[in-house]
Structure 1
C-alpha cells in the first residue's frame, strides 16, 4: 500500500547528490543544460529519490522520466545507462512493476518503454519479460489494468503508455487497445484521466499522452489537439486537470508534445516560449542553472526535478513513440554563462 500511496504524491522533496565523475560541457542549448542539471540530481549517479513523511524512498518513475530526458537531449549517456542498470535490480524493479501477485500496468509499460529507448531488450529485463507481462494485463475490452490487492489505479495515461510501448514492438499495439483508448474520448474532444467514470471530464495531461499514443497508431487526433489549444492560456502555458487553473511546466510540456505530433506549430511555439521562461538562467544560483521550474511562482528543487524531465523531452521535439538514446554523448552539460 505504501508504494501505491507514494505513486500518487504530487509535491515531493528530492535529495540532491551530485553524480560522480560528471564531465562538464558548457552549452547554450536550453534542453541540454536542463538535462545536465537533471543528471547531477541523480543519487549515486543512477536514481532519483522522493521524500514522503520525512522518509526518503527510491523513485523509479522519476528515474525513468530522467532517462527519457537524457535520451532526448542526446547527452549524459553514462547516467542514462546507470539508471537502467539500477532499475533492473530485483528490489527496484519488483517494487515498481509489482511482485508477489501484484502487477501494475502503467509501471510495466513505462519500464518497458525506458528499455526500448535505451536500445535494450524489454523481453528480458531484470529477469522479466516486460512485454509479455504487459500484454497479460490487457482485458478483453482492450483496457490495460492493474492486478492488485489495493485496487486498480490504471487510467488513460496507463493506456496511452501501453499503446506507445507495444507500438514499438514487432507485433505492434493491439487494435483493441487502441480502439479502447480512442473510445474514451469526451464529447468536447479531450480525454479523461479516469476511465469509465459516469461523467467524462477532459484532462490536460491525459489528453497530451493520448494524442501521442493515437498519433503513433495512425488514428485521428485533431479534436483532441484542438481541445488542448483551447486550454492554452495567454502566456502560452497550460494548467493541469481541465486546464482552468494556474499553468505549469508539466502540463505545458505534454501539450507541446501533442502540438508537435498533431501539426499545430503556432500553439507549439507559444508553449515552448512558456517553458523557456521558466528556466533558471545565468542570473540564478550556479547549482540551479539550466533547471526548469514547475511554474512561475519560483524555483524549488523538488518540483523542478519533476518538471524538468518532461520539459526537456518536449523542448527537443522527441515523441515517446520514437525516442531513442542512440548517438548520445557521455558529456553532462552545464549552462554556458
Structure 2
C-alpha cells in the first residue's frame, strides 16, 4: 500500500500536475493574464474557489481506495499551486500548507529521509513551499532542498531511495529542476543535462527514463520544456514546444498519451507551457477548450466553477484533480515564477442569476 499511495500521489501532477518559465523573450514576463469572458468573470478564480470548498476539513484532500480514505498530499499540493495561480483562496492555501507540514503527513509523503526518500514528492512539496513564500530549509522539520539534492545520482537523475523500488520519472526530474532553480544553489548542471538528454528524436519527452523505445508524452513534455527553459536550455525547450503544438487537437485541447480525446488535466499543463513559452495562439486555443470544460450557471450550483475531466461531463471522482490542473492553463502563470503573494483570501463563487430559465444560454456574470 505505501508504494501504491506514493505512486498515486505523484501522479497527481500529470494526471497532475505544474510548470516553469520558458524560452522566448516573450515568456515568463509576458505570459498573459487569462482572458475574460466578460468584464469581471475570471475562469481561473471561479475554479480555484470551487476547489477550495472541496477540501476535507478545510485543509486537505483525500483519495478513496477499496472503501478506505487516505490523505492525498499530492492533490493537496496541486490545489495549493492552483490557488496561487488563480490569485484566490489564500486562506485555504495557508491551511493546506500547515496540514502538509504536520510530521505524520510530511513523513508519509516524503518518506523518513533515510531508508525511504522519494524524489518526485520532495520536489513537488519544495515547489509548493517556495510558491507560498515559506522557508523550505525548515518545513515540517525537513530541509527540503538538502533532501532533494541528496537524491541526485552521479548521472544527474533524481532517484527514489526505497524498499518499494525507484518510481522516479520525468515529472519528478522536471519539478526538481524548477524547484531547485528557485533556491540559492540553482539546479545542478548534471541534472539539467540528464533531462535534456532524455528528449526523444521527435522533440517530445518520455515519462519513464531508460526505455528501449523513447515515447513522447504530452504531460511529461509540458513539464520538461518549462523546466529546461527555466534552467537555460531554450533550444531544447522550443523543440519540445513545437512537439506540443503539433499534437494539439482540433478542438484546442490535448489528449493523454495513447488517447485521442482532449482532457482537462493534459490540456491544463500543455496550455500553461504554451503560454509560458510565448506560443500564444496555441495557448489561447487550449484556454478556450478548458473554458468549455468548466461548469457554468447552467450546472448544479454545487459544481459551478469546477472543471470536468472531459466532454462526457462532470464527474465527482476526478473533478478536483481536473480542476486543479486546469487552473494552471486558465491562469497561464509559469511555475518558475508562480507566487501566492497578493492572492485574495476568500474563495470566489460564480454570481449567477437567481433563477435560470434558459440553461442553454445562461452565463456567469461575475466572480464574487
For the criterion TM > 0.5, the same-fold answer is yes
**Conserved in 2, the CA contact under 8 Å of 1:6 and 1:52?**
no
Is 1:38 the counterpart of 2:44? The answer is no
Is 1:271 the counterpart of 2:270? The answer is no
Taking the TM superposition and a 5 Å limit, the aligned residue runs for 1:236-255 are 236-241=252-257, 244-255=259-270
- Using structure 2 for the length normalisation, give the TM-score: 0.85
Deviations, residues 104-158 of structure 1 (Å, cap 9, x unaligned): 0000011111100000011000001011000000001110000000100000011
Deviations, residues 211-258 of structure 1 (Å, cap 9, x unaligned): 11011112121211111111111101111115x422101111111112
Please, which of 119, 134, 146 is the counterpart of residue 160 of structure 2? 146
For 1:68, the equivalent position in structure 2 comes to: 81
Please, which of 113, 126, 129 is the counterpart of residue 112 of structure 1? 126
How far off its partner does 1:287 sit?
A: 0.6
**Conserved in 1, the CA contact under 8 Å of 2:276 and 2:333?**
no
For 1:225, the equivalent position in structure 2 comes to: 241
For 2:65, the equivalent position in structure 1 comes to: 52
Greater length-normalized contact order (CA 8 Å, ≥ 6 residues apart)? 2
**Conserved in 2, the CA contact under 8 Å of 1:39 and 1:76?**
yes
**Conserved in 1, the CA contact under 8 Å of 2:7 and 2:167?**
no
Deviations, residues 150-201 of structure 1 (Å, cap 9, x unaligned): 1000000110000000000011111111111000000000000001111100
**Conserved in 2, the CA contact under 8 Å of 1:249 and 1:311?**
yes
For 1:285, the equivalent position in structure 2 comes to: 300
Q: Residues of 2 paired with 1:139 and 1:311: CA distance?
A: 33
Is 1:311 the counterpart of 2:310? The answer is no
For 1:189, the equivalent position in structure 2 comes to: 203
For 2:15, the equivalent position in structure 1 comes to: none
**Conserved in 2, the CA contact under 8 Å of 1:212 and 1:257?**
no
Q: Residues of 2 paired with 1:33 and 1:304: CA distance?
A: 14
Q: Residues of 2 paired with 1:234 and 1:329: CA distance?
A: 36
Q: Residues of 1 paired with 2:3 and 2:275: CA distance?
A: 32
Q: Secondary structure at the match of 1:44?
A: coil
RMSD across aligned positions (CA): 1.3
Q: Residues of 2 paired with 1:110 and 1:258: CA distance?
A: 17
How far off its partner does 1:4 sit?
A: 2.1
For 1:14, the equivalent position in structure 2 comes to: none
* Count of aligned pairs: 320
**Conserved in 1, the CA contact under 8 Å of 2:6 and 2:109?**
no
For 1:87, the equivalent position in structure 2 comes to: 100
For 1:176, the equivalent position in structure 2 comes to: 190
- Which one is further off, 60-69 or 314-323? 314-323
Q: Secondary structure at the match of 1:247?
A: coil
Taking the TM superposition and a 5 Å limit, the aligned residue runs for 1:293-304 are 293-304=308-319
Deviations, residues 46-88 of structure 1 (Å, cap 9, x unaligned): 0001011111011000000000001111111111011010000
**Conserved in 2, the CA contact under 8 Å of 1:71 and 1:328?**
yes
For 1:22, the equivalent position in structure 2 comes to: none
Q: Secondary structure at the match of 2:161?
A: coil
**Conserved in 2, the CA contact under 8 Å of 1:215 and 1:261?**
no
- Structure 1 residues not aligned, in runs of 5+: 12-26
For 1:24, the equivalent position in structure 2 comes to: none
For 1:320, the equivalent position in structure 2 comes to: 335
Q: Residues of 2 paired with 1:329 and 1:229: CA distance?
A: 33
- Structure 2 residues not aligned, in runs of 5+: 13-39, 353-368
- Which one is further off, 180-189 or 320-329? 320-329
For 1:102, the equivalent position in structure 2 comes to: 116
